[in-house]
Amino acid sequence: MISSRRRWAVPLASLLGAGAVLGISTNLAKLAAEAGLGPLAFLAWSVVGAAAVLTGVGAVRNRLPPLNARTTEYFVVAGLVGLAAPNLLSFAAVPHVGAGFVALSTAFPPLLTYIGALILGMERFQPRRASGVVLALGGAVLLAVLKLSEPGVDAFWVAATLSAPVLLAIGNIYRTARWPEGVAPNELAPGMLAASGLILLVVGAIAEPFLGGAAGFSLAVPTGRAVPALLVLAQIATFSVMYLLYFVLQKHGGPVYLSLLGSVAAVVGVPIAVLLLGEAPPQGLAIAGVLIAVGVGLLTIGDPKGNRETAAAPMDD
């Protein structure tokens, strides 16, 4: 009984926790833009800070990530595809399309991840799970379509925003398929964050001399006020919590269940953008929220992994 309850309770709690923090993170990106903090600087220093926090926690617990060819490849690829690239696209788009729409875009990976998992044999087709994915995705699409119908929407930044979920779906599949054998989630999180932070710092070091900080490709943090630094510290906290839960969710829920993270983030992030940041409330939010909630429920019942265990995922926490 306890084992059966743990099977769905751990991934559900991780999903709700990480999704809520992700919704907050998107809104912090809007506040950072308004404070004059470029998306690259905000993301890079937040990721580097979170990597330092989780590495410190791992050192205290004697659970630092092992460094070998397999884990190095994992950290670099997962950090690029699953963190650095999609987050940089999303954070850069926030001033142009709004934090609410960016939060909605994170709800799009479920269907892409589900199809990939079916093709690669990580998941077997089940009507209930397929219905859950479709409902959750339907709720997100409803909100997005209504957003796109608004006048004055920047098509380029909409396209950039919607490309991020494709990268996230690829990352969902990759992290499960290539999970290093015998490595626990709390060992993988700091490694991925460190690799992603290094990638972002290299991008900034290369791009800034040529672009002069154009399009936000600068690593400089404004020092005239305390607000930019405080926002970076807040994002360090959100990333530390989110990516620790992220790998717990990946291990216990699998790639498809993990992909629902964005759907939960949309339900949390959009109301924050409306109530606290003054963005116009999207039409259909209540209906979309119900669809997403039902979809998550259908995927939570029984085994979140769809009765198809991935050999790569370890069983220790």
What is the per-residue DSSP string for 57-118? Answer: HHHHTT-PPP-SHHHHHHHHHHHIIIIIHHHHHHHHHHHHH-HHHHHHHTT-HHHHHHHHHH
pLDDT tens, position by position, 194-220: 999 999 999 888 876 665 555 557 888
Which residues have a Cβ under 8 Å from the Cβ of 130 and sit 6 or more positions away? 114
Model confidence band, residue 48 (pLDDT cutoffs 50, 70, 90): very high
Mean pLDDT of all residues in 14-20: 88
Taking residue 286's Cβ as centre, other Cβ atoms within 10 Å add up to: 8
CA–CA separation, 174 and 176 (whole Å)? 5
Q: Three-state SS for 99?
A: helix
Taking residue 128's Cβ as centre, other Cβ atoms within 10 Å add up to: 11
Phi-psi region of 218 (alpha: psi -120 to 50; beta: other; left: phi over 0): beta
How high is the pLDDT of residue 84? 93
How high is the pLDDT of residue 94? 86
Contact 95, 163 (CB under 8 A): no
CA–CA separation, 279 and 107 (whole Å)? 19
More confident residue, 86 or 248: 86
Contact 104, 287 (CB under 8 A): no
How high is the pLDDT of residue 287? 84
Contact 187, 65 (CB under 8 A): yes
Token pair belonging to 147: 């957003």
Mean pLDDT of all residues in 3-7: 59
Q: For residue 109, is pLDDT > 80? A: no
How high is the pLDDT of residue 305? 64
pLDDT tens, position by position, 136-161: 778 777 877 776 777 777 778 888 88
Mean pLDDT of all residues in 84-107: 83
Q: For residue 311, is pLDDT > 50? A: no
CA–CA separation, 80 and 62 (whole Å)? 26
Token pair belonging to 127: 């009507």
Mean pLDDT of all residues in 87-113: 80
pLDDT tens, position by position, 227-286: 999 999 999 999 999 988 888 888 888 787 877 787 788 778 878 888 888 887 766 777
Q: Computed from CA positions of residues 30, 32, 36, 40, in that sequence, does the dihedral angle turn out positive or negative?
A: negative
How high is the pLDDT of residue 303? 61
CA–CA separation, 150 and 116 (whole Å)? 32
Mean pLDDT of all residues in 50-68: 90
Mean pLDDT of all residues in 288-292: 79
